[in-house]
Structure 1
Amino acid sequence: MRILIAPDKFKGTLTGVEAAAAMSEGALRVYPEAVVRTLPVADGGEGTLEAAVAAGYDERINAVVGPIIKPVGAAWAYNAKTHTAVIETALASGYLLSEPTVENSLRAHSYGSGQLIASALDAGATEIVIGLGGSAMTDAGSGALRALGLKLLDSHGNLVPLGGGSLLDVAAVDPSGLDPRLTNVRLRMAVDVDNPLFGYNGAAHVFAPQKGADADAVEKLDAGLRHLASLVRESTGVDIDVSGAGAAGGFPALFLAYTKTTIERGFLLVAEMVGLDAALADTDLVITGEGSLDAQSLSGKAPIGVADAAHARGLPVVVVAGHISVTAAELAKHGVVAAVSATDVAGSSEAALADAARYTTRATSEALNGI
């Protein structure tokens, strides 16, 4: 028996690596002679770097400017064989690095993420995967590109301050100082949302309130994003208000105009990065899961992506999650033959959260015993 264990994180309790370890223990209790391989996955946001490291990428740490100026140590990963780097905006420019106040929602920036891109270029990267999510800023990626040489100028030719709250003051975008190495690198933005850059479904209206913005700040941020998009369209002819450009405070937007950037479905990009297809070709059973498996999961989140890929190969799939709120019939359409939650095994969500690894292990054994 060859078992592939490929979970996403159990947000708030277990990382993808920890969840995979707990599931592995549960699987070996039922099939002690099995050959078990763990391959954590992600949707392209938080957990993307961890999945890369678990797949063999080298982890590195650089000191960068955090979203509110204070320096932070931010991890990233590199594969010297493929010259591919992996960066998460959350680790250099994340909301956990910034207190969610109105003031901070306006001045938070992505400069540190740009510094990580520069580090990847220094290492020789020709491809950079950027996991978007968990960000503190709403600056359209302007801070990151400023770390790489872009200039945002006001009507007097002076640099405007960092942060989304200053975008309305931009009179010109000057790309002449951009790092020339950007012309030879492919930037792949991993997203799991379809939000455009601005408007009522855009970066400011949907995500900025979580970062501390009140109604006035949201309107100012949205107006700034709209204004910047207009300037860019006039000067380059590129429309940066596209599906997915609103991810991570609009991080992909300016990159679309000034670099070789693509916006890609997060799970598919991570699956390619960690070699999921090759792993599926060498297994008999797949176990996947996440913290909460719900209706949103069915729209293409990582565990269902894993299940669909396995189902296409005729492989049975077992799902283990912290909580499951979809039916067995719904999961069966994706090749899932058994699904057990840690909450059901523990008897309550409180108990499951208090000892997530233990109950994930037990839920895995129960699910496998059921088939």
Structure 2
Amino acid sequence: MTRVVLAPDSFKGSITAADAADALAEGWASVDPTAEFVRRPMADGGEGTVAAFAAAVPGARRMPVAVDGPAGRRIDTTWLLLPPDPANPGGTAVVDLASTSGIELLDDLRPWDADTTGFGQAIAAALDHGVSRLVVGIGSSASTDGGIGMLTVLGARVVDADGVPVPRGARGLADIHTVDLSGLRAAPEVRVLTDVTNPLIGSRGAAAVFGPQKGLVAAADIGAVDAGLARLAALLDLDPTTAGTGAAGGTGGALLVWGATLAPGAAEVAELVGLEQAVRDADVVITGEGSYDGQSGDGKVPSFLAAIAASAGATALLAAGRIADDADTALFAASASLTDLAGSSDAALREPARWLREAGSVLARAV
């Protein structure tokens, strides 16, 4: 009997990690009906982080909150309240940027105007509730505002030479003259789950690497935002070369300034859901995400799962919505692209569960 651990990330805007795991299991079982499945839906700090904690922690409660979303209008979302414990009598709040200021909340990209205000508002709501600890996931961001939207909500004043608050989003970076942190709310213990280790600026920085995904296409625009982030770092007395400061368009750096600690998101969620123990007893591990590309080897769920599988002597397999030409799939014994199976990315996105079932059967035949 084959023991199969199913630990995909969510396929952004398409299917949740839990539903993806179910579909992969159905597909595998169509080929190998005696297989035993262990489901461990994953996240790395991006979309699905709150869901992963909600599924893993008994007594977790979703707390509704209305925030200013990245499209410039109010949205209804939630943060998660974990039960209190002796070390955290007020409980722990889990807040993810994806559900408050995330790129999947946009119909059209807003490279200059999307910002992190909504993320800050959800954090503020959790603080107002009286939590003792914050766990925040910062993947899947829509903006490159350096986290100034979040900092402003938490009490910072970010103003131009005339003392007027700068515009929201990356648009405001060029106007920043002064950052006053004297009114910033005191931070509890804050642990930041991130899926990237990029610095704030430079060729591997927030604007250069992630700006194009958010609509910053022209080299001049990327350079202007990079320069704005460098100026912001100087005003915040932040070392812009620090690993992780470029996460979420610079929000990682802003959170460090607030007093937070950055942590690898996939590792934190894996510990929470007992992933390593599950893999230790497995023959096969199937992981995946919506787009497996050249950045997927840097702290994201698939590469993390492949490393755990290798250490346990299990076979690692990959199912992804698309597998880019520059992606290194050498970590996996076999891989399946939903886009290839469906014939197009549009077809794969329309019926992700169907093509994940097909991917599960393809992978079962490959080993």
Give the TM-score normalised by the residue count of structure 2.
0.81
CA contact (8 A) 1:45 1:133 kept: yes
One-letter code aligned to 2:82: N
Q: Which residue of 2 aligns with 1:133?
A: 139
One-letter code aligned to 1:280: V
Decide which of 346, 355, 360 is 2:356's aligned counterpart. 360
Tell me how far 1:300 sits from its aligned partner: 4.9
Tell me how far 1:40 sits from its aligned partner: 1.4
Decide which of 186, 190, 196 is 1:192's aligned counterpart. 196
1:16-63 C-alpha deviation (Å, 9 max, x unpaired): 222111012224445545543311113332333333333345433310
What SS class does the counterpart of residue 21 from structure 2 fall into? helix
CA contact (8 A) 1:66 1:93 kept: yes
1:48-83 C-alpha deviation (Å, 9 max, x unpaired): 333333334543331011235421112332322564
Decide which of 56, 79, 83 is 1:80's aligned counterpart. 83
1:301-326 C-alpha deviation (Å, 9 max, x unpaired): 31231122122122333434445679
Decide which of 222, 229, 233 is 2:226's aligned counterpart. 222
Residue 113 in structure 1 maps to residue 119 in structure 2: yes
Q: Which residue of 2 aligns with 1:231?
A: 235
How many Å separate the matches in 2 of 1:304 and 1:249?
A: 22
What SS class does the counterpart of residue 26 from structure 2 fall into? helix
Tell me how far 1:140 sits from its aligned partner: 1.2
One-letter code aligned to 1:47: G
Which consecutive unaligned segments of at least 5 residues does structure 1 have? none
Residue 277 in structure 1 maps to residue 276 in structure 2: yes
Tell me how far 1:132 sits from its aligned partner: 2.4
1:71-124 C-alpha deviation (Å, 9 max, x unpaired): 1112332322564433222321233445657xx533432111011112232444
How many Å separate the matches in 2 of 1:168 and 1:293?
A: 34
Structural mapping, 1:197-276, within 5 Å = 197-213=200-216, 217-233=221-237, 238-257=238-257, 259-276=258-275
How many Å separate the matches in 1 of 2:112 and 2:340?
A: 43
Give the TM-score normalised by the residue count of structure 1.
0.80
Q: Which residue of 2 aligns with 1:64?
A: 67
1:120-155 C-alpha deviation (Å, 9 max, x unpaired): 324444443332233232221111111111122444
1:225-266 C-alpha deviation (Å, 9 max, x unpaired): 222222222xxxx42442321222211222222x22223333
Bigger shift: 273-282 or 317-326? Answer: 317-326
1:197-237 C-alpha deviation (Å, 9 max, x unpaired): 2334432344334444455544443332222222222xxxx
What SS class does the counterpart of residue 47 from structure 2 fall into? coil
Residue 147 in structure 1 maps to residue 153 in structure 2: yes
Which consecutive unaligned segments of at least 5 residues does structure 2 have? 86-90
How many Å separate the matches in 1 of 2:142 and 2:291?
A: 24
One-letter code aligned to 1:232: L
Decide which of 70, 91, 100 is 2:99's aligned counterpart. 91
How many Å separate the matches in 2 of 1:114 and 1:52?
A: 20
C-alpha distance 33-70 of structure 1, shift in aligned 2 (>3 A):
same
Which structure has the larger Rg? 1
One-letter code aligned to 1:95: I
How many Å separate the matches in 1 of 2:282 and 2:141?
A: 36
How many Å separate the matches in 2 of 1:223 and 1:325?
A: 30
C-alpha distance 30-208 of structure 1, shift in aligned 2 (>3 A):
closer
Structural mapping, 1:288-299, within 5 Å = 288-293=287-292, 296-298=295-297
1:172-195 C-alpha deviation (Å, 9 max, x unpaired): 322222222x1x32231413252x
Aligned length: 357
Q: Which residue of 1 aligns with 2:88?
A: none
CA contact (8 A) 2:64 2:76 kept: yes
C-alpha distance 122-320 of structure 1, shift in aligned 2 (>3 A):
same
CA contact (8 A) 1:109 1:162 kept: yes
CA contact (8 A) 2:196 2:298 kept: no
Q: Which residue of 1 aligns with 2:15?
A: 14
Q: Which has the higher helix share?
A: 1
C-alpha distance 348-124 of structure 1, shift in aligned 2 (>3 A):
same
How many Å separate the matches in 2 of 1:370 and 1:241?
A: 43
CA contact (8 A) 1:87 1:128 kept: yes
Residue 54 in structure 1 maps to residue 41 in structure 2: no
Q: Percent of counterpart pairs with the same letter?
A: 41
